[in-house]
A and B are shown apart, each in its own frame.
Chain A
Amino acid sequence: MVTNRTGHYELPATYKNDCLSYSFLFNYKNPGELFMKSDTAVPAKELPKTDPRVKLIAAKLKKENYQPDALIEILHTAQNAYGYLPKDVLAYITRALHLPPSRVYSTVTFYHFFSLKSKGEHTCLVCTGTACYVKGAQQILQAIEKETGIAPGKVSADNKLGVQVARCIGACGLAPAVVIDEEVQAKASPEEIIQKLNAKIGKI
């Protein structure tokens, strides 16, 4: 499963500390004095201004007039640009919108779309909506796990392939559906998907 909002998502211990350390950002002229008590807390780096992805986020912030209401829109832009939400980027957005870091963090972890970790170079999204479930999406997930060793919601060790599940991608007429790198595979069979995945990660 992707991040689960009922309270049992996995969070790396270091990340928890980092999130606490965001609070120093409001006092960033004098970092550390007030809030940085933990030894593991690392101040977020300034983002390189020349990075096109940063420029994209900066432009979106400006377009939305730095309104805190636009948080989700801006997170979408960042997620699309980076593929996930690196902590330095979150810190940057937090600062620009003058929001408490807790508010940004709680929003990011609430929605399935946002991810704090990289989803992998290639993504394989298996739809597990009702129609796909009835037509055997579980068998596809099992086959993928058996073949590549990647459980749903996980990324391979070399970050090449990430396997995710979606609740319903709205292609119920073509169930079961799998999306490999934005391309929809209609009426998919486990064998076909394994073959496509192997081709993507260069096994054959």
Chain B
Amino acid sequence: MNRQELKTIIQTEKNRELNHTGKQKICVCCGAGCLSSGAEEVMKKLQEEIKARGLEQEVEVVPTGCMGPCNQGPLLKCLPGYNMYQKVDCSNIEKIVQSQLVDKKPLEDLLLFADLREKPSLDAREDPYFKKQLKIALKDCGTLNPERIEDYLAHDGYVALDKALFELSPEEVIAEVKHSRIRGRGGAGYPTGLKWESVYKYVNDQKYVICNGDEGDPGAFMDRSVLEGNPHRVLEGMCIAGYAIGASKGFAYIRGEYPLAIKRFEQAIKQARKLGLLGKNIMGTAFSFDIEVRIGAGAFVCGEETALIASIEGKRGTPKPRPPFPAESGLWGKPTLINNVETFAAIAPIIRNGGEWYSEIGTPKSAGTKVFALAGKINNAGLIEVPMGTTLREIVFEIGGGIQHNEEFKAAQTGGPSGGCIPAAHLDVKMDYESLVSLGSIMGSGGLIIMDKSSDMVDVARFFMEFCMDESCGKCVPCRVGTRMLHDLLQKICDNKATQIDLDRLEELAVYVKEASLCGLGGSAPNPLLSTLRHFREEYESRIVKHD
């Protein structure tokens, strides 16, 4: 299909949307969270109810991706008024249809956050939960049907690819990404533009693009939601990357634990191929690119790029020493670009609106927005996207609605098993790469677990060390043996059997493991331990057996 034919399709879809303006549209959140809370039955019942009342012509029911506040699911969003309903079940569908669609009056006591706020906002966008957020990567999640490419096309889908292919040279695309100052969203925060440039510079007849969707950090689920809620956005980002670096083949490595994400991404690939947005001569140009899905088999270490490459090659996922970096010698020895799902999701808006626009959001060193998965002892657990530099206090108390049962905030754990805990004293920390590192934590993939006083910090450190011990691939000694020794020492402290000598040894060993391990898993495994030691030392010391 060439460019002209595609434009016709987009126009038809846009017209269809326009014809719908003024009409009601009910979006049913079909993200993994809401599906587990029963969104499927809700949607079926809703369709039946609308049919029974003969409103099919006036109302459109759309299954969408994640809307954010997973804890309150299943969720409904009624457009154009943005009236959102929470904890919808089959028994109150009838009431909602009656007042929302027939009487045209939102039903106040079922509105989103009706149980938390004195007066819930009719327009959900006015609620502090959404007001503080800025959605770029998640923008169309929760509005469009992820299973229809036409929906994506109507929401400026593939416009960025069109712009890149017809108006920009590969160098200009890379310059635009560099200008946006976006940094890798997988955790390490390496500038994406520089990465693209280095792969571009290696001359080879075959290069690869890999999308890292092996979201292993416990407590992070943003990649899952993006892949489930807007797979075409990631696909478009990968295509643009392929064009920029000169690759003709891409792989999306998605965790086996996410069957819905795999299904939707595979479906998106099929649809894109059908419209000529993937495959040979995309939009009639000389550029050819295709994507294959590879399913992860449940190894945390495969989030590390060299281990992920080994896994795509069908081997044990053990990391390799770098250099050579994948940019030089990656998949099957060819130059390979690896980016995270969230990074690819931000590419299309950057190309569409220009790098300048993106670089103005956030802080000077960390541009743009970051998706956080808010979970633990917090009222509004779910998925949020905020500009970099938003303080932890704003996230926890304004967006997150505070700690459950009005308990006191004790710590926030960021970055999963590679990150650390931020104590209450640092609630005003700006969430960006540098500030978090200065507190001994990392941004990581964006998991944010909130803890109250019921969480024992030594036990939390032990929990993460157990995780790293189990997930160590066993290749290098500092990690394989070190994590086990650290775990045993922590267990000893938890059992109130440790002495001061053990604590000293723990600290000493943690540094060795951190410095001597081959890859990021071992290199960051002691982080939770070191950061809890730094901020909650008294909890460790109170358990030490004293000699007299």
Contact of B314 among A1, A69, A131 (CB under 8 A): A69
Q: Are A111 and B377 in contact (CB under 8 A)?
A: no
- Asked whether A168 is an interface residue with its Cβ less than 8 Å from the other chain, the reply is yes
Contact between B381 and A173, CB atoms less than 8 A apart: yes
How far in angstroms is the closest Cβ of chain A from B227?
A: 10
Chain A 50-92 interface 0/1 with B at a Cβ cutoff of 8 Å (1 = within): 0000000000000000011111110110000000000000000
Q: Are A111 and B317 in contact (CB under 8 A)?
A: yes
B:450-492 near A, CB below 8 Å: 451, 455, 463-464, 467, 469-474, 480, 484
Q: How large is the interface on B (under 10, 10 to 19, 20 to 34, 35 or more residues)?
A: 35 or more
Is A20 part of the binding interface, using a Cβ–Cβ cutoff of 8 Å?
A: no
A111 touching B298 in the complex, CB below 8 Å, given contacts A6-B470, A135-B377: yes
Contact call B294/A73, Cβ cutoff below 8 A:
yes
Is residue B395 contacting chain A, with contact meaning CB distance below 8 A? no
* Among candidates B218, B258, B455, B472, residue contacting A6 with C-beta atoms closer than 8 Å: B472
Tell me the smallest distance from the CB of B187 to a CB of chain A, in Å. Answer: 15
* Nearest 5 interchain pairs by C-beta: A173-B70, A129-B218, A112-B298, A111-B297, A184-B36
Counting CB contacts under 8 A, is A170 at the interface?
yes
Chain B: CB-nearest residue to A166: B257
**A173 close to B314 (CB less than 8 A):** no
> What is the CB-to-nearest-CB distance from A169 to chain B, in angstroms, rounded to a whole number?
6
A107-B316, A184-B36 are known contacts. Are A134 and B295 too (CB-CB below 8 A)? no
A121-177 contacts to B (CB < 8 Å): 128-131, 133-135, 166-175, 177
Check if B221 sits within 8 Å of A135, measured CB to CB: no
Please encode chain A, from 164 to 196, with 1 for each CB lying within 8 Å of some chain B CB and 0 for all others: 001111111111010000001110000000000
B217 contacts chain A at the CB level, 8 A cutoff? yes
Residues from chain B with a CB closer than 8 A to the CB of A170 are 32, 215, 220-221, 224, 255, 257-258
B388 at the interface (CB under 8 A from A): no
B373 at the interface (CB under 8 A from A): yes
The answer to whether B221 touches A112, judged by C-beta atoms less than 8 angstroms apart, is no
Q: Which residues of A contact B472 (CB under 8 A)?
A: 5-6
| Measured CA separation A7–B472 after assembly (Å) | 10
Would you call B245 an interface residue if the criterion is a C-beta within 8 Å of the partner chain's C-beta atoms?
A: no
In contact, B314 and A130 (Cβ under 8 angstroms) = no
Residues of B within 8 A of A107 (CB): 314-316
Quick one: given A5-B474, A68-B314, A174-B33, are A167 and B218 in contact (CB under 8 Å)? yes
Interface: B447 (CB within 8 A): yes
Q: Are B71 and A173 touching (Cβ within 8 A)?
A: yes
Contacts of A30 in B (CB 8 A): none
A135 neighbours in B (Cβ, 8 Å): 376-377
In the docked arrangement, what's the CA distance between A184 and B33, Å?
Answer: 9
Q: Does A4 make an interface contact (CB < 8 A)?
A: yes
Closest to A182 in B: B259
Task: Give the shortest distance, in Å, between A187 (CB) and chain B (any CB).
Answer: 9
What B residues does A1 contact at CB under 8 A?
470
List, in ascending order, chain A residues with CB within 8 A of B221's CB: 168, 170-173
A14 close to chain B: CB less than 8 A? no
Is there a chain A Cβ closer than 8 Å to B313's Cβ? yes
On whether the beta carbons of B219 and A172 are closer than 8 Å, the reply is yes
Q: Which of A69, A129, A174 contacts B71 (CB 8 A)?
A: A174
Complex Cα distance, B473 from A5, in Å, reads 6
The contact of B219 among A68, A73, A112, A131, by CB within 8 Å, is A131
B375 CB within 8 Å of chain A: yes
Interface residues of A (CB under 8 A from B): 1, 4-7, 67-73, 75-76, 103, 106-107, 110-114, 128-131, 133-135, 166-175, 177, 184-186
* B514 CB → nearest A CB, Å: 18
Quick check: is B371 within 8 A (CB to CB) of the other chain? no
| B115 CB to nearest A CB, Å | 15
- When chains A and B are docked, how far (Å) is the Cα of A71 from the Cα of B32? 29
Known contacts being A106-B316, A107-B315, is A130 close to B219, with CB within 8 Å? yes
Least Cβ distance of B277 to chain A in Å? 23
Taking a contact as CB atoms under 8 Å apart, the answer to whether A174 and B469 are in contact is no
The complex places the Cα of A111 from the Cα of B307 at a distance, in Å, of 12
Interface centre among A4, A73, A167 (most CB of B within 10 A): A167
Contact status of A6 and B294, CB under 8 A, knowing A113-B256, A168-B217: no
Complex contacts, B220 vs chain A, CB 8 Å:
168, 170, 172
Q: Does B349 contact A (CB under 8 A)?
A: no
Q: With a CB–CB cut-off of 8 A, which chain A residues contact B37?
A: 174, 186
In contact, A130 and B447 (Cβ under 8 angstroms):
yes
Chain A residue contacts of B294, Cβ below 8 A:
72-73
* Cα–Cα, bound, A93→B375 (Å): 42
Which chain B residues in 200-258 approach chain A with CB under 8 Å?
A: 215-221, 224, 255-258
Residues on the A chain within 8 Å of B389, using CB = none
Q: Are B381 and A134 in contact (CB under 8 A)?
A: no
Q: Are B295 and A73 in contact (CB under 8 A)?
A: yes
Q: Establish whether residues B474 and A130, one from each chain, have CB atoms under 8 Å apart when the complex forms.
A: no
Residues of chain B with a CB closer than 8 A to A110's CB: 299, 316-317, 473
Let me know if B311 is at the binding interface, CB within 8 A.
Answer: yes
Residue in chain B with minimal CB distance to A125: B257
Whether B469 contacts A173 by the Cβ 8 Å rule is: no
Select B469's contact among A6, A131, A184, A185, beta carbons within 8 Å. A6
Q: How far is the CA of A110 from the CA of B311 in the complex (A)?
A: 11
Q: Are B295 and A76 in contact (CB under 8 A)?
A: yes
Known interface pairs A73-B295, A76-B295; A172-B375 also in contact (CB < 8 Å): yes
Q: Are B375 and A131 in contact (CB under 8 A)?
A: yes
- Name 5 interchain pairs, CB-CB below 8 A, sorted by A: A1-B470, A167-B300, A168-B217, A174-B70, A184-B32
For B258, give the chain A residue with the smallest CB separation.
A170
